Structure 1
Amino acid sequence: MKRLFELIRRLTPTGNAGSQIAKSLVWVGSQNALGRVIQLSMLVILARLVGPTELGLVGIALLALSALRKFTEIGLNAALIHQKEDNVDSYLDTVWLLEIGRGVLVGGIMFLAAPLIASFFGEPRAVGLLQATAIVPVLTGLKNPGIVYFDKNLDFHKEFAYQIGAEIVRFVVSVAYALVEPTAWAFVVGFIAGNVTRFGLSYAIDSYRPWFRFDMDAAKELIDYGKWMTGSSILFFLNTEGDDAFVGWFLTPAALGFYQYGYRLSNAPATEITQIIARVMFPAFSKLQDDTERLREVYLKMLRMTSFVSFPAAFGIAAVTPTFVRAFLGPDWTGMIVAMQILAVYGLLRSVGKTFGPVWKATGRPDIITKLSAFRLVLIALLIYPLTARYGIAGTALTVTLIYVFPMMPIDIYIIRGTIDATYREIFYEFVYPFTASVVMFAGVWLVHLNLAINPILKFAILTVTGIVLYVASVLVLEVQFDWGIRQNLNTLITNVKS
């Protein structure tokens, strides 16, 4: 126990900027990895117990909640993190009251509009689920606003306790409920329990205590920064979940269950890795916003680490998807295999794309995110109907993936190049090596998949080990033969953590 406390003390984000960032990456990485393992374990268990149609009903409730949240997002936390001052206590009471108002508004609309939302999707069984879920935004609004310091001060060891505690409660409640009554309510009850836990932990972990004090000038300042975040949030929902809504409306709840599960399982590793890095780097980038040379240096290192992990994650998922679905989800879920493989490629593109946003937000240009999201939405609207009508959920997956390949990714790279004053060669250099190693890995894993007819669970284990060995071997060859530089980055990260 003494050694555990000593390890926690050493990993508490202190020291110089590099050390703080490295230790923060360890905490956020551990949090996201453990949190994602808990979530995916819960999803797999519920998929087996409940089935795609029931989980499609849950998808309707979560879609409605996400839409209302995104349409009322005013970027308060991002505005606080963007502040150069370390102490933002003078803003917190105002933020708390604004978030309470937003939570009551979202919850009230969701509760009252539940019959209309269910009717839109042609599923009256979703009404009760929608109304029960309406309590969640109210709980979110009541949370302690002081938790913004977890991000602002890189205190991610506190965030770890806050998030993982809630995920454990959610897992236990959901699975226990599903074992007794395998219906959509298992997911919803667990979701509510997790948010009740977050509410309680926000006050247990942070000492700030909000009160009913409202500062109009502070509100105007925060909302002025966040106005582009509002538009960006709306467009982000339409871009990332509009396809879910279309599938739920145009096809069936079962198809929505297939698509959402395929999306979550295929995108989780690659995008979670980038989210870890981006979340830590936004506060760090904000402190470097006036130093373009240093900003470029730090960004390219971040892109290298992101690509190093995201490329093999996406290629690996595409290779093992058929075996994974049959081994862990069962025959009822085979209809999502092709869509999940396509969405793995989309997850890779998203993971790279997620590295751009923190730079634009940190340099005071969140409007770029909004404008690009609007353009991408127009392209999705033009293609999603014909491709989905022809190919089902695989066509929906093709829509979002192809648009990211072209024209969105080339445009993103063109703009980020100007923001950090980098060359195209500097940016594309970070993609070449992980792409090469991942192609070698994919080819080897797929070859084994085609020639191995054994128990699906054992086969999945063999494919996973094969992929890891091939990728590590390829990375070592590239590092030795071409001086990739990834070993130096990893050594720097480890040194900063130890220091």
Structure 2
Amino acid sequence: MGIRRRITWLVRKLIPQGKVAERTIKSGIWVSALNVGDRGLQLIMMIVLARVLTPADFGLMGIALLTLGAMRQFSELGLEAALIQQSQENVDSYLDTTWSLEIGRGLTMATICFFGAPYIASFFGEPRALELLQAIALAPLLYGLRNPAIIYFKKGLEFHKQFAYRMSGSMTNASIAIAYALIFQSVWALVLGYIAKEAMQMIVSYLMLDYRPRPRFDVPSATELIGYGKWITASSFLYFLYNKGDDAIVGRLLDASALGFYQMAYEFSNAPATEVTSIISSVMFPAFSQVQDDPERLRVAYYRTLQVTSFVAFPMAFGIAVVAPSFIEAFLGDAWLPMVTVMQILAAYGLFRSIGVTFSPVWKAIGRPDYITKLSFLRVVLMAIFIYPATMTFGVEGTALLIVGISIFPQIPIDIHLTVKSIESTYTRMLRELSYPLTASTLMATAVLLVETRLSVPWIMVEFFVLVGVGVIAYIVAAVLIWTLFDWQIQRNIRTIVKTVRG
């Protein structure tokens, strides 16, 4: 069998179909492939551009993306979540209204970004950001023009289509940004790549679907969607404040270079968390929604999700923390070494994000999205109180320590309490599931640090790959030892995934 035929056979085998469990597993594989490909392209792009552009350039683009992110989160209507949560499979009757709302939202964002650019640039004390902000104002309009029927990719667990849709934009972004940067060595590479990505995804959304929306607005449909999505809207607003508010404070109190260091450290340290987060939020919410009325099935599904998530997230976070110095020196260059400490701190935040994101799909599925909003509000209040003194006293490291500290207490304890209550479980069961990967990752990190102290090679890149190899082997050995001695059921989940893929 030729390579092309093998790929075709594998793709057909992985098309989500059958029962909910099988479709969920196959959808998870597609989302994983999407996130690996998407994040891989993004990290490659950032590594290449880090050698060409300066930290200040990344900081300027960070200001533009921060502005877009603020407007996108503040105007979030929760329409996607409302459509996914609908019990009926066919939601065509809502799509025209959804499209009209999204176009209006995109046009409003574009207008505010373009005409507000002088004031935003002045707020951050970076006049160089003015033209970038005005150019990137086109992106939200393109985003709003997407075919609303792409909701079926998630609602129907058809993530093989979501893969094609999203990767078209990622490949366009990376190719244009890298090519432009290598030729012109300008921050405009980041802007043009981002706009091209939104344009490509908008075009592909119509090529992949037969549904053609019309500019029609139905008041009852809009009221119903927004009525469910009001908690999503509020939590989205608060999510931006605690997830991007630190960026805004760093950019305002320090400078563009400090923001560049902070955002780059966040991107690399939280890459695994971002991918795990995307998988969980994309796949598990619709999957949990389909078993929301069966507490036993919901509990079993949740713990399987937590086991797989923690099995991946713990070693990645520990590994990033221990190899950060070698990685930065090998791939980004000496100019980026000041971000080593903040990257190590933010690796812990990435771990808490990965575990924390398993909670919210359960709450949304059982009809309690208000939990997300209320916890987000608590986090924002704590950040507002402590972020200024932390940043002014300790710089970007202080900012990173603050957001990690809030995750440790009170965020994670409250999350665990609400989730245990929601799935009718126990704290002992929850903590036991987390203790297994924590122990294995601690053993892995210890092995890597021991090797690092005794390793002497002339090339830093060789050192990096040796340390990664040691970490992978050490974690596998530790995991096998733990599931042999204790009742860690991760191996059953792995076997189930393999069996499902094989058919």
Q: TM-score range by the shorter chain?
A: over 0.9
Q: Give 1:38's match in structure 2, choosing from 25, 38, 41.
A: 41
Counterpart mapping for 1:118-267 below 5 A: 118-267=121-270
Could you list the per-position Cα deviations for residues 260-314 of structure 1 after superposition, in whole angstroms to 9, with x for gaps in the alignment? Answer: 0100100111331232133101001111111111111110110011000000000
CA distance in 1, matches of 2:388, 2:303: 38
8 A Cα contact 2:269 2:347, kept in partner? yes
CA distance in 2, matches of 1:453, 1:378: 48
Could you list the per-position Cα deviations for residues 143-181 of structure 1 after superposition, in whole angstroms to 9, with x for gaps in the alignment? Answer: 000100000001111111111111111111000000111
Q: Give 2:401's match in structure 1, choosing from 398, 401, 409.
A: 398
How much does 1:449 deviate?
A: 2.0
For residue 479 of structure 2, give the secondary structure of its aligned residue in structure 1.
Answer: helix
Q: Give 1:469's match in structure 2, choosing from 470, 473, 484.
A: 473
Structure 2 partner of 1:447: 450
How much does 1:452 deviate?
A: 2.3
Residue 493 (1) aligns with residue 500 (2): no
- Structure 2 letter corresponding to 1:418: K
- Structure 2 letter corresponding to 1:493: I
8 A Cα contact 2:444 2:475, kept in partner? yes
How much does 1:4 deviate?
A: 2.0
How much does 1:96 deviate?
A: 0.3
8 A Cα contact 2:270 2:346, kept in partner? yes
For residue 13 of structure 1, give the secondary structure of its aligned residue in structure 2.
Answer: coil
- Structure 2 letter corresponding to 1:19: E
- Structure 2 letter corresponding to 1:205: M
Residue 357 (1) aligns with residue 350 (2): no
For residue 116 of structure 2, give the secondary structure of its aligned residue in structure 1.
Answer: helix
Structure 1 partner of 2:426: 423
* Segment drifting more, 477-486 vs 10-19: 477-486
- Structure 2 letter corresponding to 1:327: A
8 A Cα contact 2:280 2:357, kept in partner? no
Q: Give 1:315's match in structure 2, choosing from 303, 313, 318.
A: 318
Residue 76 (1) aligns with residue 82 (2): no
CA distance in 1, matches of 2:394, 2:21: 48
Structure 1 partner of 2:94: 91
How much does 1:238 deviate?
A: 0.4
Residue 17 (1) aligns with residue 7 (2): no
- Structure 1 letter corresponding to 2:277: T
How much does 1:485 deviate?
A: 1.5
Structure 2 partner of 1:273: 276
How much does 1:429 deviate?
A: 1.2
CA distance in 1, matches of 2:283, 2:273: 16
How much does 1:47 deviate?
A: 1.0
How big is the alpha-carbon RMSD for the aligned residues of Structure 1 and Structure 2?
A: 0.9
Q: Give 1:102's match in structure 2, choosing from 105, 113, 121.
A: 105
Structure 1 partner of 2:60: 57
CA distance in 2, matches of 1:263, 1:85: 39
Structure 1 unaligned blocks of 5 or more: none
Could you list the per-position Cα deviations for residues 110-136 of structure 1 after superposition, in whole angstroms to 9, with x for gaps in the alignment? Answer: 000000000000000000000111000
CA distance in 2, matches of 1:410, 1:495: 35
Say how many residue pairs are matched: 499
- Structure 1 letter corresponding to 2:128: R
Structure 2 partner of 1:330: 333
How much does 1:426 deviate?
A: 1.2
Residue 305 (1) aligns with residue 305 (2): no
CA distance in 2, matches of 1:468, 1:293: 35
CA distance in 2, matches of 1:194, 1:362: 31
8 A Cα contact 1:18 1:496, kept in partner? no
TM-score, normalised with respect to structure 1 = 0.99
Structure 1 partner of 2:464: 460
Could you list the per-position Cα deviations for residues 306-352 of structure 1 after superposition, in whole angstroms to 9, with x for gaps in the alignment? Answer: 00000000000000000000001111101110000000000000110
- Structure 2 letter corresponding to 1:311: F
Structure 2 partner of 1:482: 486
Q: Give 1:411's match in structure 2, choosing from 405, 409, 414.
A: 414
For residue 124 of structure 1, give the secondary structure of its aligned residue in structure 2.
Answer: coil
CA distance in 2, matches of 1:83, 1:483: 37
Could you list the per-position Cα deviations for residues 426-460 of structure 1 after superposition, in whole angstroms to 9, with x for gaps in the alignment? Answer: 11111111000000111111122233243111110
How much does 1:481 deviate?
A: 1.6
Could you list the per-position Cα deviations for residues 406-432 of structure 1 after superposition, in whole angstroms to 9, with x for gaps in the alignment? Answer: 111101111111111110011111111
CA distance in 2, matches of 1:180, 1:141: 31
Could you list the per-position Cα deviations for residues 350-390 of structure 1 after superposition, in whole angstroms to 9, with x for gaps in the alignment? Answer: 11011111111111111110000000111111111112112
- Structure 2 letter corresponding to 1:283: P
Structure 1 partner of 2:375: 372
CA distance in 2, matches of 1:316, 1:271: 16
Q: Give 1:285's match in structure 2, choosing from 261, 281, 288.
A: 288
CA distance in 2, matches of 1:219, 1:148: 16
TM-score, normalised with respect to structure 2 = 0.98
CA distance in 2, matches of 1:3, 1:482: 38
- Structure 1 letter corresponding to 2:93: S
CA distance in 2, matches of 1:266, 1:132: 29
- Structure 2 letter corresponding to 1:175: I
For residue 276 of structure 1, give the secondary structure of its aligned residue in structure 2.
Answer: helix
CA distance in 2, matches of 1:222, 1:458: 54
- The percent of aligned pairs where both chains have the same amino acid is 51
Q: Give 2:391's match in structure 1, choosing from 382, 388, 393.
A: 388
CA distance in 2, matches of 1:399, 1:470: 31
CA distance in 2, matches of 1:480, 1:368: 37
CA distance in 2, matches of 1:302, 1:284: 11
CA distance in 1, matches of 2:37, 2:13: 20
For residue 128 of structure 2, give the secondary structure of its aligned residue in structure 1.
Answer: helix
Could you list the per-position Cα deviations for residues 380-403 of structure 1 after superposition, in whole angstroms to 9, with x for gaps in the alignment? Answer: 111111121121101000000011
8 A Cα contact 1:270 1:311, kept in partner? no
How much does 1:185 deviate?
A: 0.6
